[in-house]
A = this chain, B = another copy of it.
Amino acid sequence: MKRIERVGAIIKILSENPGKQYSLSYFCDMFQSAKSSISEDIHAAKQILETIDSGMIETTAGAGGGVRFLPCISDTDTAALLDLICEKLRDKSRILGSGFLYTSDIMFDSNIVKCAGEIFAGRFMGLGADYVVTIETKGIPVALMTAHMLNLPLVVIRRESKISEGSTVSINYISGPSERIQKMSLAKRAVTSGSKAIIIDDFMRAGGSIKGIIEMLSEFEIEIVGTGVVIASTEPQKKKISDFFPLIYLGSVDESNKIIEVFPNSLISCKKIL
Protein backbone atom coordinates (compact mmCIF):
# COMPACT_ATOMS: atom_id res chain seq x y z
CA MET A 1 0.00 0.00 0.00
CA LYS A 2 1.10 3.52 -0.73
CA ARG A 3 1.46 6.19 1.93
CA ILE A 4 -1.79 7.93 0.93
CA GLU A 5 -3.65 4.64 1.34
CA ARG A 6 -2.11 3.85 4.71
CA VAL A 7 -2.83 7.35 6.04
CA GLY A 8 -6.45 7.22 4.84
CA ALA A 9 -6.91 3.79 6.39
CA ILE A 10 -5.34 4.87 9.70
CA ILE A 11 -7.68 7.88 9.89
CA LYS A 12 -10.72 5.68 9.22
CA ILE A 13 -9.77 2.97 11.72
CA LEU A 14 -8.72 5.27 14.56
CA SER A 15 -11.55 7.77 14.24
CA GLU A 16 -14.30 5.17 14.22
CA ASN A 17 -12.96 3.70 17.45
CA PRO A 18 -12.53 6.74 19.70
CA GLY A 19 -10.35 6.23 22.75
CA LYS A 20 -9.26 2.75 21.69
CA GLN A 21 -5.52 2.21 21.94
CA TYR A 22 -3.79 0.58 18.95
CA SER A 23 -0.17 -0.58 18.99
CA LEU A 24 2.13 0.47 16.18
CA SER A 25 2.61 -3.23 15.39
CA TYR A 26 -1.13 -3.49 14.64
CA PHE A 27 -0.68 -1.16 11.67
CA CYS A 28 2.74 -2.64 10.77
CA ASP A 29 1.09 -6.06 10.44
CA MET A 30 -1.94 -4.70 8.62
CA PHE A 31 0.09 -2.83 6.01
CA GLN A 32 3.21 -4.99 6.00
CA SER A 33 5.27 -1.89 6.67
CA ALA A 34 8.18 -0.95 8.90
CA LYS A 35 7.63 0.89 12.18
CA SER A 36 9.41 3.95 10.85
CA SER A 37 6.95 4.22 7.92
CA ILE A 38 3.93 3.72 10.18
CA SER A 39 5.23 6.40 12.56
CA GLU A 40 5.43 8.84 9.66
CA ASP A 41 1.94 7.81 8.49
CA ILE A 42 0.51 8.43 11.94
CA HIS A 43 2.22 11.80 12.07
CA ALA A 44 0.66 12.70 8.72
CA ALA A 45 -2.79 11.52 9.90
CA LYS A 46 -2.41 13.62 13.05
CA GLN A 47 -1.64 16.74 11.05
CA ILE A 48 -4.59 16.22 8.72
CA LEU A 49 -7.02 16.04 11.64
CA GLU A 50 -5.43 19.16 13.13
CA THR A 51 -5.78 21.01 9.83
CA ILE A 52 -9.50 20.24 9.57
CA ASP A 53 -9.95 20.72 13.35
CA SER A 54 -11.62 17.37 13.77
CA GLY A 55 -10.26 15.56 16.81
CA MET A 56 -6.73 14.54 17.65
CA ILE A 57 -4.47 11.53 17.45
CA GLU A 58 -2.47 10.90 20.60
CA THR A 59 0.68 8.80 20.56
CA THR A 60 2.31 7.40 23.67
CA ALA A 61 5.77 5.89 23.66
CA GLY A 62 7.01 2.84 25.52
CA ALA A 63 6.00 -0.78 25.96
CA GLY A 64 2.32 -0.16 26.73
CA GLY A 65 2.22 2.74 24.30
CA GLY A 66 0.51 3.16 21.01
CA VAL A 67 -1.88 5.46 19.25
CA ARG A 68 -5.49 6.46 19.78
CA PHE A 69 -8.04 8.94 18.51
CA LEU A 70 -9.53 11.49 20.89
CA PRO A 71 -12.67 13.14 19.51
CA CYS A 72 -12.86 16.90 19.77
CA ILE A 73 -15.61 18.82 18.07
CA SER A 74 -14.41 22.18 16.75
CA ASP A 75 -15.63 25.47 18.23
CA THR A 76 -17.40 26.18 14.93
CA ASP A 77 -19.24 22.85 14.98
CA THR A 78 -20.04 23.29 18.69
CA ALA A 79 -21.57 26.70 18.06
CA ALA A 80 -23.51 25.34 15.07
CA LEU A 81 -24.88 22.45 17.14
CA LEU A 82 -25.99 24.66 20.01
CA ASP A 83 -27.63 27.09 17.58
CA LEU A 84 -29.41 24.21 15.86
CA ILE A 85 -30.77 22.86 19.15
CA CYS A 86 -31.85 26.37 20.24
CA GLU A 87 -33.58 27.00 16.91
CA LYS A 88 -35.41 23.68 17.16
CA LEU A 89 -36.41 24.35 20.77
CA ARG A 90 -37.88 27.77 19.88
CA ASP A 91 -40.47 26.11 17.65
CA LYS A 92 -43.74 27.05 19.38
CA SER A 93 -45.44 23.77 18.43
CA ARG A 94 -43.27 22.13 21.12
CA ILE A 95 -45.30 23.71 23.91
CA LEU A 96 -47.29 20.97 25.66
CA GLY A 97 -48.71 23.00 28.54
CA SER A 98 -47.72 23.09 32.23
CA GLY A 99 -44.27 24.28 31.14
CA PHE A 100 -43.44 21.05 29.29
CA LEU A 101 -41.79 21.02 25.88
CA TYR A 102 -41.69 18.16 23.40
CA THR A 103 -38.01 17.28 22.94
CA SER A 104 -38.04 13.58 21.99
CA ASP A 105 -37.20 14.26 18.34
CA ILE A 106 -34.09 16.18 19.44
CA MET A 107 -32.98 13.63 22.05
CA PHE A 108 -33.48 10.74 19.58
CA ASP A 109 -31.69 12.48 16.68
CA SER A 110 -28.47 10.49 16.30
CA ASN A 111 -26.56 13.33 14.64
CA ILE A 112 -27.45 15.81 17.38
CA VAL A 113 -26.68 13.44 20.26
CA LYS A 114 -23.45 12.33 18.61
CA CYS A 115 -22.18 15.93 18.50
CA ALA A 116 -23.47 16.55 22.04
CA GLY A 117 -21.62 13.40 23.12
CA GLU A 118 -18.44 14.78 21.56
CA ILE A 119 -18.81 17.98 23.56
CA PHE A 120 -19.34 16.05 26.81
CA ALA A 121 -16.45 13.73 25.97
CA GLY A 122 -14.15 16.71 25.42
CA ARG A 123 -15.29 18.20 28.71
CA PHE A 124 -14.94 15.06 30.83
CA MET A 125 -11.95 13.41 29.15
CA GLY A 126 -8.99 12.52 31.34
CA LEU A 127 -10.91 12.49 34.63
CA GLY A 128 -10.43 8.75 35.07
CA ALA A 129 -14.11 7.83 34.75
CA ASP A 130 -14.98 4.12 34.57
CA TYR A 131 -18.59 4.54 33.35
CA VAL A 132 -21.09 6.93 31.89
CA VAL A 133 -24.31 6.68 33.89
CA THR A 134 -27.81 7.83 32.91
CA ILE A 135 -31.41 7.11 33.88
CA GLU A 136 -33.92 5.84 31.35
CA THR A 137 -35.25 6.95 28.87
CA LYS A 138 -34.55 10.13 26.94
CA GLY A 139 -30.97 10.54 28.18
CA ILE A 140 -29.87 7.15 26.85
CA PRO A 141 -28.91 8.26 23.31
CA VAL A 142 -26.69 11.17 24.37
CA ALA A 143 -25.19 9.13 27.22
CA LEU A 144 -24.46 6.28 24.80
CA MET A 145 -22.69 8.59 22.37
CA THR A 146 -20.69 10.16 25.22
CA ALA A 147 -19.70 6.69 26.39
CA HIS A 148 -18.73 5.76 22.85
CA MET A 149 -16.52 8.83 22.45
CA LEU A 150 -14.80 8.09 25.77
CA ASN A 151 -14.61 4.32 25.11
CA LEU A 152 -16.44 3.65 28.39
CA PRO A 153 -19.34 1.34 29.28
CA LEU A 154 -22.79 2.88 29.62
CA VAL A 155 -24.80 2.12 32.75
CA VAL A 156 -28.54 2.76 32.62
CA ILE A 157 -30.48 3.17 35.85
CA ARG A 158 -34.04 1.86 35.48
CA ARG A 159 -37.26 3.28 36.89
CA GLU A 160 -38.58 -0.13 37.89
CA SER A 161 -36.48 -3.11 38.90
CA LYS A 162 -36.82 -5.71 36.16
CA ILE A 163 -36.34 -9.46 36.43
CA SER A 164 -33.78 -9.19 33.62
CA GLU A 165 -31.58 -6.96 35.80
CA GLY A 166 -30.96 -9.59 38.48
CA SER A 167 -30.58 -8.30 42.03
CA THR A 168 -30.87 -4.53 42.23
CA VAL A 169 -30.50 -1.65 44.64
CA SER A 170 -33.48 0.72 44.67
CA ILE A 171 -33.91 4.18 46.12
CA ASN A 172 -36.74 6.68 46.32
CA TYR A 173 -36.14 10.26 45.31
CA ILE A 174 -38.11 13.44 44.79
CA SER A 175 -38.26 14.96 41.34
CA GLY A 176 -40.36 16.82 38.81
CA PRO A 177 -42.26 20.11 38.97
CA SER A 178 -44.72 18.57 41.44
CA GLU A 179 -41.92 17.16 43.64
CA ARG A 180 -43.27 13.64 43.36
CA ILE A 181 -41.66 10.62 45.03
CA GLN A 182 -40.16 8.37 42.37
CA LYS A 183 -38.13 5.20 42.39
CA MET A 184 -34.94 4.19 40.62
CA SER A 185 -33.18 0.83 40.45
CA LEU A 186 -29.69 -0.23 39.53
CA ALA A 187 -28.49 -3.78 38.87
CA LYS A 188 -25.85 -4.69 41.46
CA ARG A 189 -23.65 -6.26 38.81
CA ALA A 190 -23.73 -3.15 36.58
CA VAL A 191 -21.06 -1.31 38.59
CA THR A 192 -18.08 -2.00 40.84
CA SER A 193 -17.76 -0.30 44.17
CA GLY A 194 -15.03 2.32 44.42
CA SER A 195 -15.12 3.31 40.75
CA LYS A 196 -15.72 6.70 39.10
CA ALA A 197 -18.63 7.86 36.97
CA ILE A 198 -19.79 10.63 34.66
CA ILE A 199 -23.54 11.37 34.77
CA ILE A 200 -25.23 12.39 31.51
CA ASP A 201 -28.92 13.26 31.14
CA ASP A 202 -31.18 15.00 28.65
CA PHE A 203 -32.89 17.56 30.87
CA MET A 204 -32.50 19.07 34.30
CA ARG A 205 -34.95 21.31 36.13
CA ALA A 206 -34.18 21.42 39.86
CA GLY A 207 -31.79 18.48 39.65
CA GLY A 208 -33.84 15.95 41.63
CA SER A 209 -33.19 13.06 39.25
CA ILE A 210 -29.47 13.74 39.16
CA LYS A 211 -29.36 14.09 42.94
CA GLY A 212 -31.10 10.70 42.99
CA ILE A 213 -28.49 9.22 40.67
CA ILE A 214 -25.71 10.60 42.89
CA GLU A 215 -27.36 9.04 45.97
CA MET A 216 -27.76 5.76 44.11
CA LEU A 217 -24.12 5.74 43.08
CA SER A 218 -23.01 6.61 46.60
CA GLU A 219 -24.67 3.34 47.70
CA PHE A 220 -21.95 1.71 45.58
CA GLU A 221 -19.24 4.14 46.80
CA ILE A 222 -18.89 5.53 43.28
CA GLU A 223 -17.36 8.95 42.89
CA ILE A 224 -18.93 11.39 40.41
CA VAL A 225 -16.28 13.15 38.34
CA GLY A 226 -18.61 15.11 36.05
CA THR A 227 -22.26 15.77 35.25
CA GLY A 228 -23.53 16.91 31.86
CA VAL A 229 -27.07 17.71 30.72
CA VAL A 230 -28.26 18.74 27.27
CA ILE A 231 -30.84 21.24 28.56
CA ALA A 232 -30.98 22.89 31.99
CA SER A 233 -33.87 25.16 32.90
CA THR A 234 -32.94 28.47 34.51
CA GLU A 235 -35.78 28.02 37.02
CA PRO A 236 -35.66 27.17 39.86
CA GLN A 237 -32.43 29.08 40.38
CA LYS A 238 -31.65 27.03 43.45
CA LYS A 239 -30.70 23.58 42.23
CA LYS A 240 -30.42 20.40 44.26
CA ILE A 241 -26.91 19.78 42.89
CA SER A 242 -24.08 22.26 42.60
CA ASP A 243 -21.81 21.09 39.83
CA PHE A 244 -23.22 20.42 36.39
CA PHE A 245 -22.44 21.32 32.80
CA PRO A 246 -25.38 22.15 30.51
CA LEU A 247 -25.23 22.71 26.76
CA ILE A 248 -28.39 24.79 26.56
CA TYR A 249 -30.32 26.90 29.04
CA LEU A 250 -34.10 26.95 28.89
CA GLY A 251 -35.52 30.21 30.24
CA SER A 252 -39.18 31.10 30.45
CA VAL A 253 -41.87 29.39 28.38
CA ASP A 254 -44.57 31.99 27.70
CA GLU A 255 -47.54 29.80 26.83
CA SER A 256 -49.95 32.60 25.95
CA ASN A 257 -47.59 34.35 23.52
CA LYS A 258 -45.94 31.07 22.48
CA ILE A 259 -42.42 32.29 23.16
CA ILE A 260 -39.77 29.86 24.33
CA GLU A 261 -36.63 31.46 25.70
CA VAL A 262 -33.49 29.37 25.10
CA PHE A 263 -29.81 30.22 24.85
CA PRO A 264 -26.57 28.27 24.52
CA ASN A 265 -24.10 27.90 27.36
CA SER A 266 -21.55 30.43 26.21
CA LEU A 267 -18.75 28.91 28.27
CA ILE A 268 -18.35 25.88 26.04
CA SER A 269 -15.13 25.52 24.18
CA CYS A 270 -13.70 22.12 23.55
CA LYS A 271 -10.35 23.66 22.68
CA LYS A 272 -9.84 25.47 25.94
CA ILE A 273 -10.50 22.34 27.92
CA LEU A 274 -8.23 19.90 26.15
Contact = CB atoms under 8 A, between A and B. Distances in A.
Q: In the complex, which range does the number of interface residues on chain A fall in?
A: 35 or more
Interface in A140-189: 140-141, 144-145, 147-148, 151, 153-156, 158, 163-166, 187, 189
B137 A96 contact: no
A12 interface: yes
Contacts of A102: 164-166, 187, 189
Nearest to A108: B154
Given A109-B154, A110-B148, A138-B164, 7 more contacts: A4-B7, A5-B47, A5-B48, A8-B11, A8-B48, A11-B12, A12-B12
25 contacts: A4-B44, A8-B11, A8-B48, A11-B12, A12-B12, A12-B48, A12-B54, A13-B52, A13-B54, A16-B54, A17-B111, A96-B164, A96-B166, A102-B164, A102-B187, A104-B187, A104-B190, A108-B153, A110-B145, A110-B148, A111-B151, A136-B136, A137-B140, A138-B164, A141-B154
Interface of A: 1, 3-5, 7-9, 11-13, 15-17, 20, 44-45, 47-49, 51-52, 54, 96, 98, 100-105, 108-111, 113-114, 136-138, 140-141, 144-145, 147-148, 151, 153-156, 158, 163-166, 187, 189-190
